[in-house]
Amino acid sequence: MPTLYLLEQGAKLSKTSKRLVIEKDREVLSEIPEFKIEKVFVFGNVQITTQALKFLLGNNIDVSFFNMKGKLIGKLFPFESKNVYLRMAQYDAFKNEEFKLKISKKIVEGKIKNCLVVFQKFLRNHPEVELKEEIDRLNSALKEVERKTQISSLLGLEGISSKVYFKGFSKMFKNGFDFRQRTRHPPLDPVNSLLSLGYSLITSEMFSILFALGLDPYVGFFHTLEYGRASLALDLIEEFRPVIVDRLVLDLINKNMLKQEDFEYEKTAEGEVLKVLLNQEAKRVFFSQYEKRMNTQITLPQGNVSYRRLFDVQARKMIECIKSNSGDYEPFLIK
């Protein structure tokens, strides 16, 4: 159990001897040996004692806090990295428009290529689904990437490509799930709810890695600066969105691991949907499958690594680009 998910509302995490203890209303729900935890994800109203916090900080265990919608609201870190020279190089790179454009093209290119592979893999088992138009349009967008001379136009191309991709993605679901378009804040249907939760998790994980390596997660090259936006983390998860989260959501729904009744709808008095969230038990299913996905082994030239380890590999590639001022970032491409 490298990741501890705290979901039970009103529960408390404490430290006793060499174990972490989860309890509620004086009843022990679970005890975990301290050496088995690498990160903690806290959702909603869960308390953590001072002793547990000291232990987590002292052992460099990353703690992420989410609201009940699954939105990341904060993180707990022992210390900020002392690698001030790397951050200075990152800030210099941010001021270099040529560098930013070059690396942004690589990011968009990697994402579109991985979106195409998601379609191609799906069609192997479902040739009856019509995705030709979406595949053709994504291939055309891929050719357009290199022609862009401004990040603003590249952002526009990526936005159009995402709409095309999600149009095709909507055709891939069965078991009565209806997904028409991507809605974010808040998610208005079950598929969007799952996508938002998954994207929030991988953003949190990438944020932690960037911070630990000495980079500033808030200063990216493709995503624009915005107060509170972890732009660099968002840059680096673009190539992983279709590979990890989208394929996970497809499996959860199409393999009947999650059903319609696993979702809770908040509506107005007139019946308009305000938001859709997973219920408590369904979240456990989601997190279990998310962990399996993150621990899936990928073969690289240097050997097999998990997707979770691959986040670190890609972050280090970004560091090398920043240090060399080359912009020759190589996104991870799924085969």
Instruction: State pLDDT tens for residues 161-208.
Output: 999 999 999 999 987 888 888 887 788 889 999 999 999 999 999 999
pLDDT at 1 over 60: no
Distance from C-alpha of 89 to C-alpha of 207, rounded to nearest angstrom:
18
> Does a structural domain hold residue 335?
no
Distance from C-alpha of 212 to C-alpha of 79, rounded to nearest angstrom:
9
Mean per-residue pLDDT, 34-50: 87
How many residues are there in the chain? 335
Angle at 156 between CA 154 and CA 161, to 5 degrees: 95
pLDDT at 80 over 70: no
> Does a structural domain hold residue 331?
no
pLDDT at 247 over 70: yes
Q: What pLDDT is stored for residue 107 in this prediction?
A: 97
> Does a structural domain hold residue 30?
yes
> Does a structural domain hold residue 333?
no
112 in the same domain as 45 = no
Distance from C-alpha of 89 to C-alpha of 29, rounded to nearest angstrom:
47
Q: What pLDDT is stored for residue 81 in this prediction?
A: 67
pLDDT confidence bin for 238, thresholds 50/70/90? very high
262 in the same domain as 303 = yes
> Does a structural domain hold residue 162?
yes
Q: What pLDDT is stored for residue 275 in this prediction?
A: 83
Mean per-residue pLDDT, 209-217: 92
Q: What pLDDT is stored for residue 138 in this prediction?
A: 97
Q: Under DSSP, is residue 186 helix (H, G, I), strand (E, B) or coil? A: coil
pLDDT at 330 over 70: yes
Burial degree of 74 (CB within 10 A; 0-12, 13-18, 19+):
exposed
Q: Under DSSP, is residue 145 helix (H, G, I), strand (E, B) or coil? A: helix
215 in the same domain as 146 = yes
Joined together, the tokens standing for residue 263 give 């979702």
137 in the same domain as 69 = no
> Does a structural domain hold residue 172?
yes
90 in the same domain as 72 = no
Mean per-residue pLDDT, 245-266: 93
187 in the same domain as 67 = no
Q: Under DSSP, is residue 270 helix (H, G, I), strand (E, B) or coil? A: coil
Average pLDDT, the chain: 90
pLDDT confidence bin for 74, thresholds 50/70/90? confident
**φ, ψ for residue 26 (rounded to 5)?**
65, 10
- How much of the chain exceeds pLDDT 70, in percent? 99
Who contacts 91 (Cβ-Cβ below 8 Å, separation ≥6)? 216, 219
223 in the same domain as 301 = yes
Which of 76, 98, 117 delimits the end of a domain? 76
Distance from C-alpha of 129 to C-alpha of 138, rounded to nearest angstrom:
17
128 in the same domain as 72 = no
Q: Using one digit for the tens of pLDDT, what is the confidence trace for 104-163? A: 999 999 999 999 999 999 999 899 999 999 999 999 999 999 999 999 999 999 999 999
> Does a structural domain hold residue 131?
yes
pLDDT confidence bin for 57, thresholds 50/70/90? confident
Q: Using one digit for the tens of pLDDT, what is the confidence trace for 263-304? A: 988 888 777 878 888 888 899 999 999 999 999 998 887 788
Which of 48, 76, 104 delimits the end of a domain? 76
Which of 29, 48, 76 delimits the end of a domain? 76
135 in the same domain as 8 = no
> Does a structural domain hold residue 236?
yes
101 in the same domain as 220 = yes
Least confident of 76-80, 163-167, 229-233, 284-288: 76-80
172: domain CATH number is: 1.20.120.920
What is the total count of domains within the chain? Answer: 2
Q: What pLDDT is stored for residue 320 in this prediction?
A: 95
49: domain CATH number is: 3.100.10.20
Q: What pLDDT is stored for residue 106 in this prediction?
A: 96
Least confident of 215-224, 263-272, 312-321: 263-272
- Domain that includes residue 47, residue range: 3-76
Q: What pLDDT is stored for residue 118 in this prediction?
A: 96
H-type alpha helices, the chain: 50-58, 84-94, 97-125, 132-145, 151-169, 190-213, 231-237, 247-254, 280-294, 307-324
Closest CA to 224 of 94, 96, 317, 117: 94
72 in the same domain as 195 = no
117 in the same domain as 247 = yes
